[in-house]
Chain A
């Protein structure tokens, strides 16, 4: 009940945030030098196409009218056309978003499911072998950019040993794509029981997911470890210790109190992952939204770019909304 009230309030709070985001994205194209209609239409557009855009964008109208038009269009799912794919941007997005979500969510969940326990373990078992391994890993992860690590992994596991498939997207070309259900190929193959496709999809997922996980999980491990260590030394855990509480309860007290900051970092990691996906998708020819964004930048295809920036901003807002809600569930001191 309290939760519903809090969640409702936070959702309402989302409205002004979205408003600000939409204004920023709206000006994104308009502040670039040159005719916005020409920019949006792309370099090979015909005169009529540019004229048509000029009227849908209402470029002769006052700015607030143009903004209202933009918002109305977006709300109806109209993000304009990509001149590069000559499709409505919304269609392109629908096609590519599942692949990116698959990458980002899978990496996120693995990073959390492994990172938090590893962080806790090393907080408790200081000075073990795990600790030294982790130290080395932390140093590496902190210094290698994600796309570079991706290339190294491809070199080792594909070029050198051939254990895993190369960077050619989500599936072997000889395997037929399973019928679309969610759009995420591995999931669709699993749901439809297409084992050949499932195996291939999973094998293709390993390297990009490993790349992103290796780069970003270290943030979760380090933060969990620091926070749990700090909480083990807190007055209340030390008091529990002084009162002879079971070791498992002492640890539970510490972990519980370490969670809020860890949740924040998890949110940040999800946010970073979207950026990481942009580069890693390009390296692995993943065919997701990230790669789409990069290609759009390269070919000055502004309509998809504008849509991508908007989506990324909305994704970020949602992630931090979830972080806030998690805080609320964890900490009884937060008022509705």
Chain B
């Protein structure tokens, strides 16, 4: 099947006066129509930058050096702002962590939803406000006809995220990019939000790219998992295969950490120290328990372990089969 989204060797850097910092170092990823894929990886891996690159949102001092992003037959990185506007919010929508910050503090949420709706549909303000009430209702906000008149500061974080989701889904997008939608929400609310999102995405037949640092969440909601490390996808595979036979030492580390401390996020809070190593060899080498000489000399490509399961590791076979303790 033709993928809905195909990210091909995308390289992005942050241009400082002191020089460029490479943030995405050749990302390859595809998303099939209707599937849910989880993106995991520690903080700083480049997940948010990847999401923003897909929407072609990056502005100076960010720079996309190389690569292609094909979505639904179109080349996103080649498009101008006004053409992108016809895709953003309509075909690809976004939710971000810290939902309250994504909403204009001085404008009522109903009005903001209406702005989102009218951005892509020629209807009156009044009609859009009626649709906004329906949108709030569809994301389970009680008393939606009253809540449309609320300002963001009058809503809880969870409610704000529901508003953001309502806005994201108001044009039934083909792809929803959900960047850590539950970061900072407490566990029960987080569950409700994820269930809601999964349900709506299923209803619309949309694809979902769920960025999370929680391995459990991804296992529960996604059919496939992609692991990101130092600006690269280091492993991608079906959820079941991945959880049973992860082929990259870093994936193994994440899974172990998740098991060791189910709810202890500190385990995943370590930052990427190995960025510099990316120029030569595998970026994970300094932290890798099974690194060999080859790992320092050249960068492994994202190669198949078996059908639909690939990893950027010279020893992926051994690691996947559990022949070495990674």
B93 within 8 A of A: yes
Q: Are A249 and B119 in contact (CB under 8 A)?
A: yes
Rounded to whole angstroms, the CA-CA distance of A96 and B326 in the bound complex is 87
Rounded to whole angstroms, the CA-CA distance of A128 and B7 in the bound complex is 35
B168 within 8 A of A: yes
Report the contact-size class of chain A (Cβ under 8 Å from the partner).
Answer: 20 to 34
Name the contact of B104 in the complex, choosing from A246, A247, A253 (C-beta under 8 A): A253
Name the contact of A239 in the complex, choosing from B85, B102, B106, B120 (C-beta under 8 A): B102
Q: Are A242 and B89 in contact (CB under 8 A)?
A: yes
Interface mask (B155-166 → A, CB under 8 Å = 1, otherwise 0): 000000000100
Q: Are A244 and B105 in contact (CB under 8 A)?
A: no
Given contact pairs A249-B115, A249-B119, A333-B151, A242 touches B94 in the complex (Cβ within 8 A): yes
A330 within 8 A of B: yes
Q: Are A243 and B96 in contact (CB under 8 A)?
A: no
B88 within 8 A of A: yes
Q: Are A244 and B89 in contact (CB under 8 A)?
A: yes
Q: Are B94 and A256 in contact (CB under 8 A)?
A: no
Q: Are B106 and A243 in contact (CB under 8 A)?
A: no
B101 within 8 A of A: yes
Name the contact of B102 in the complex, choosing from A235, A249, A333 (C-beta under 8 A): A235
Interface centre among B90, B98, B106 (most CB of A within 10 A): B106
Q: Across the interface, name the chain A residue whose C-beta is closest to B152.
A: A236
User: Chain A residues with Cβ under 8 A from B85's Cβ?
Assistant: 244-247
A331 within 8 A of B: yes
Q: Are B153 and A333 in contact (CB under 8 A)?
A: yes
B20 within 8 A of A: no
Rounded to whole angstroms, the CA-CA distance of A235 and B116 in the bound complex is 16
B57 within 8 A of A: yes
Q: Across the interface, name the chain A residue whose C-beta is closest to B150.
A: A332
Q: Are B120 and A244 in contact (CB under 8 A)?
A: yes
Interface mask (A296-336 → B, CB under 8 Å = 1, otherwise 0): 00000000000000000000000000000000001111000
User: Chain B residues with Cβ under 8 A from A236's Cβ?
Assistant: 101-105
User: Chain A residues with Cβ under 8 A from B94's Cβ?
Assistant: 239, 242-243
Residues 108-135 of B contacting A (Cβ, < 8 Å): 115-116, 118-120
Rounded to whole angstroms, the CA-CA distance of A333 and B116 in the bound complex is 23
Q: Are A332 and B89 in contact (CB under 8 A)?
A: no
A238 within 8 A of B: yes
Given contact pairs A238-B57, A256-B106, A332-B106, A243 touches B89 in the complex (Cβ within 8 A): yes
Q: Are A332 and B104 in contact (CB under 8 A)?
A: no
Interface centre among A236, A242, A245, A332 (most CB of B within 10 A): A242
User: Chain B residues with Cβ under 8 A from A237's Cβ?
Assistant: 104
The DSSP consensus for interface residues of chain A is helix
User: Chain A residues with Cβ under 8 A from B107's Cβ?
Assistant: 253, 256
Rounded to whole angstroms, the CA-CA distance of A332 and B102 in the bound complex is 17
B302 within 8 A of A: no
B87 within 8 A of A: yes
B175 within 8 A of A: no
User: Once A and B bind, how many residue pairs between them come within 8 Å at the CB atom?
Assistant: 75
Distance of B47 from chain A, by nearest CB (Å): 15
User: Chain A residues with Cβ under 8 A from B87's Cβ?
Assistant: 244
Interface centre among B115, B120, B151 (most CB of A within 10 A): B115
User: Chain B residues with Cβ under 8 A from A245's Cβ?
Assistant: 85, 89, 115-116, 119
Interface mask (A126-138 → B, CB under 8 Å = 1, otherwise 0): 0000000000000
Rounded to whole angstroms, the CA-CA distance of A253 and B85 in the bound complex is 17
Rounded to whole angstroms, the CA-CA distance of A56 and B93 in the bound complex is 77
B167 within 8 A of A: yes
Distance of B266 from chain A, by nearest CB (Å): 26
Given contact pairs A241-B57, A243-B168, A249-B119, A257 touches B89 in the complex (Cβ within 8 A): no
Q: Are A257 and B104 in contact (CB under 8 A)?
A: yes
Rounded to whole angstroms, the CA-CA distance of A241 and B101 in the bound complex is 14
Given contact pairs A239-B94, A332-B151, A246 touches B105 in the complex (Cβ within 8 A): no
Rounded to whole angstroms, the CA-CA distance of A244 and B105 in the bound complex is 19
B55 within 8 A of A: yes
Residues 53-83 of B contacting A (Cβ, < 8 Å): 55, 57
User: Chain B residues with Cβ under 8 A from A243's Cβ?
Assistant: 88-89, 93-94, 116, 119, 167-168
Q: Are A240 and B106 in contact (CB under 8 A)?
A: no
User: Chain B residues with Cβ under 8 A from A239's Cβ?
Assistant: 94, 96, 102-103, 164
Q: Are A241 and B88 in contact (CB under 8 A)?
A: yes
Q: Across the interface, name the chain B residue whose C-beta is closest to A238.
A: B57
Distance of A146 from chain B, by nearest CB (Å): 35
Rounded to whole angstroms, the CA-CA distance of A330 and B106 in the bound complex is 7
B223 within 8 A of A: no
Q: Across the interface, name the chain A residue whose C-beta is closest to B154.
A: A332
Rounded to whole angstroms, the CA-CA distance of A321 and B223 in the bound complex is 59
B86 within 8 A of A: yes
Rounded to whole angstroms, the CA-CA distance of A332 and B155 in the bound complex is 13
Rounded to whole angstroms, the CA-CA distance of A236 and B90 in the bound complex is 18
What are 25 A-to-B residue pairs whose CB atoms are below 8 Å? A235-B101, A236-B103, A238-B57, A239-B96, A239-B164, A240-B116, A241-B57, A242-B55, A243-B89, A243-B94, A243-B116, A243-B119, A243-B168, A244-B86, A244-B89, A244-B116, A245-B85, A245-B89, A249-B115, A249-B119, A253-B104, A256-B107, A257-B104, A332-B151, A333-B153
Q: A253-B107, A332-B105 are in contact. List 6 more A-B contacts (CB 8 A).
A: A236-B101, A244-B116, A244-B120, A247-B85, A253-B104, A331-B106
Binding site for A on B (CB under 8 A): 52, 55, 57, 84-90, 93-94, 96, 98, 101-107, 115-116, 118-120, 151, 153, 164, 167-168
